[in-house]
């Protein structure tokens, strides 16, 4: 067991041997990693546990550098477990380098079908029994997709929970993948409108870059292809508190002039690569739409729902590059949508294209949420719902909260989707006071 000491905290590694399929405990095993964090000097204190479930899917837990962000507030009361959800971080990895060990695309997709919220909850329960003890519940904090996992936890294993906290992650309990994206595009459109109102010069800047990319092939550092549609994917930035400003500065610094004339500069292309590459978290793209699959909602395949909805958009022609460039007006950036062409433009995803297609065609996904159990939930629960959150639909979240007994909701426009990370503990503190009945 490795122990590290950083300013103000002590970190301890924990590795769990877990079944790939929890319904088949005698079958294949994988490793799941968790990092214990405790305030320096309190290593031997009898502190309750708080497990953190990261957003995503497919993102590793944060790597602490000390008592920064929400962690400082959490360590006042808890011993924290930062869980690397299966396939991420120091858990058994799932990426273009490792997945071929499973076999071909069909075998890889079958393997990844066990990487959804239901399996993550079962992994967490194994950790709880080992670290807290079989009869001792712990607290859970879920950010974004981690909130989806938290609602699955309340559905599947509420006996393991002392309290449940959710930030920007109450899912639509009966929303299909298509429902999710039909609700998403209008929100993304509003974020674009707000961005261009803040930075009117960016209308011309984005059009000029898109026109340049339409006429020639531009390679990113690392081999990615920057197509106009890939350029639009920078709209992921618009859902965070400072993302609009980051996007503006990126566009403002796009051009350089060399012997061949005006061209997109290396610094700009590297900045774009850093925002668009899925090398650090390929599962974010590969299993993204699968997190919405539930047989009781839609027994059919997710079938690239984001692309299907986009193809049918009539109210927002600003999302279509050719329509915009052949006319006038602003080009809209897209948001948290995964498209099949991403697997042609991103080198980290290209080898997984057929695997992603297999998952897109998969049918009859097991249900993730138990509405009956949620209706009688007695675990104290609180959620921060960010008003007009670009990533998670506010209407879906409020409808879900209304169906989860003991769930208290705080709707706020003080923060965007990244409020937990950037609020210096204020969001977490508010939720803790809510579940304790102090506010």
Annotated catalytic sites, by residue? 144, 364, 417
Residue 425, phi-psi category: left (phi > 0), alpha (psi -120 to 50), beta (remainder): left
Q: What does the alpha-carbon distance between residue 310 and residue 236 come to, in Å, rounded to a whole number?
A: 16
Q: What does the alpha-carbon distance between residue 137 and residue 437 come to, in Å, rounded to a whole number?
A: 19
Kindly state the tokens that stand for 54.
């990261």
Pairing of strands 29-39, 3-6: unpaired
For 50, 98, 159, 167, 192, the CA distances from 378, given in Å and listed in that order, are 18, 41, 10, 19, 40
Kindly state the tokens that stand for 268.
């700009």
Kindly state the tokens that stand for 295.
């047989």
- Using the CB atoms, write b or e for 30-49: b if 16+ within 10 Å: bebbbbbbbbeeeeeeebeb
Decide: helix, strand or coil at residue 7.
coil
> Residues near 74 by Cβ (< 8 Å), separated by ≥ 6?
50, 52, 80, 141, 425, 428
CB 394, CB 385: distance < 8 Å:
yes
Kindly state the tokens that stand for 369.
């949420």
| Sign of the torsion angle spanned by Cα atoms 229, 235, 237, 239 | negative
Q: What does the alpha-carbon distance between residue 157 and residue 169 come to, in Å, rounded to a whole number?
A: 18
What interhelical angle do 145-156 and 117-131 show, nearest 10?
70
Residue/partner pairs of 252-260 with CB below 8 Å, 24 or more apart: 252/205, 254/205, 254/209
Q: What does the alpha-carbon distance between residue 88 and residue 32 come to, in Å, rounded to a whole number?
A: 9
Range list of β-strands (E), 225-380: 255-258, 261-264
Q: What is the DSSP letter of 93?
A: B
């Amino acid at each position: 067991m490795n122990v590290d000491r950083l300013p103000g905290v002590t970190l301890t590694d924990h590795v769990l041997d877990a079944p790939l399929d929890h319904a088949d405990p005698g079958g294949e095993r994988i490793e799941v990693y968790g990092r214990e964090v405790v305030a320096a000097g309190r290593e031997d204190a009898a502190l309750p546990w708080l497990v953190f479930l990261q957003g995503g899917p497919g993102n590793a837990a944060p790597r602490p550098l000390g008592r920064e962000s929400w962690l400082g507030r959490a360590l006042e009361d808890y011993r924290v477990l930062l869980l690397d959800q299966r396939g991420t971080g120091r858990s058994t990895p799932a990426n273009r380098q490792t997945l071929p060990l499973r076999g071909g695309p069909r075998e890889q997709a079958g393997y990844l079908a066990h990487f959804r919220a239901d399996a993550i909850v079962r992994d967490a329960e194994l950790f709880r029994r080992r670290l807290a003890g079989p009869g001792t519940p712990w607290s859970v904090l879920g950010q974004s997709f981690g909130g989806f996992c938290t609602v699955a936890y309340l559905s599947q294993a509420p006996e393991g929970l002392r309290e449940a906290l959710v930030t920007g992650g109450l899912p639509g309990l009966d929303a299909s993948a298509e429902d999710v994206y039909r609700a998403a595009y209008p929100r993304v459109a509003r974020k674009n409108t707000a961005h261009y109102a803040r930075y009117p010069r960016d209308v011309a800047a984005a059009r000029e870059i898109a026109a340049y990319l339409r006429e020639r092939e531009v390679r990113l550092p690392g081999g990615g292809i920057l197509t106009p549609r890939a350029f639009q994917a920078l709209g992921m930035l618009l859902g965070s508190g400072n993302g609009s400003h980051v996007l503006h500065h990126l566009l403002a610094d796009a051009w350089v002039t060399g012997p061949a004339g005006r061209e997109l500069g290396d610094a700009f292309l590297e900045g774009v690569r850093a925002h668009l590459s899925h090398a650090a978290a390929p599962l974010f793209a590969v299993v993204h739409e699968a997190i919405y699959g539930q047989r009781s909602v839609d027994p059919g395949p997710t079938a690239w729902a984001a692309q299907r909805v986009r193809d049918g958009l009539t109210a927002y022609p600003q999302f279509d590059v050719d329509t915009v460039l052949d006319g006038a007006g602003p080009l809209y950036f897209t948001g948290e949508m995964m498209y099949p062409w991403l697997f042609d433009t991103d080198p980290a995803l290209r080898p997984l294209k057929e695997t992603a297609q297999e998952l897109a065609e998969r049918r009859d996904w097991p249900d993730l949420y138990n509405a009956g159990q949620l209706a009688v939930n007695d675990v104290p629960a609180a959620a921060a719902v960010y008003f007009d959150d670009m990533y998670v639909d506010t209407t879906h979240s409020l409808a879900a909260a209304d169906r989860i007994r003991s769930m208290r909701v705080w709707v706020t426009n003080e923060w965007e989707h990244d409020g937990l990370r950037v609020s210096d503990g204020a969001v977490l503190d508010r939720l803790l006071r809510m579940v304790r009945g102090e506010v």
